[in-house]
Amino acid sequence: MSHKSIQPKVLAQVLQSLGDTFHTRDVSDDARVHAAHSELTGHPQFNVFIGKALELNHIQLAIAQTGKKTARGVEWAKQRRSASDGKD
């Protein structure tokens, strides 16, 4: 069990419903994340797994860390995609 078990597709679905900035815990607390990763939710490092998955998939998810850390985890900001993104 590790961050490699986290499904980027589920993270992308959750991010669609969040504002322009959000924290790791906003993602890891979401019911869709819990439902898709029920075997991991009880793990003491679950929030770390989500944070690492966000970090590893940040380009695909179009997000970046802001550098702020809070009790709810790292703060993230959605990045604007250019018109040419994904059109190679």
How many angstroms separate the CA atoms of 21 and 5, rounded?
24
Instruction: Identify whether 59 is part of a domain.
Output: yes
Residue 88 — pLDDT band, cuts 50, 70, 90? Answer: very low
The reply to whether 35 falls in a domain is yes
pLDDT of amino acid 83: 57
* Structural domain boundaries, residue 70: 3-78
Q: How many domains does the chain have?
A: 1
Residue 24 located in a structural domain: yes
Please name the helix (run of DSSP H) or strand (run of DSSP E) that holds residue 21, with its range, or none: strand 21-23
Q: What value does the mean pLDDT take over residues 60-70?
A: 95
The CA distance from 68 to 81, in Å, is 22
What's the average model confidence in pLDDT over 74-83?
Answer: 85
pTM of the predicted structure, to 2 decimals: 0.86
| Residue 19 maps to a domain | yes
Mean predicted lDDT score pLDDT of the chain: 90
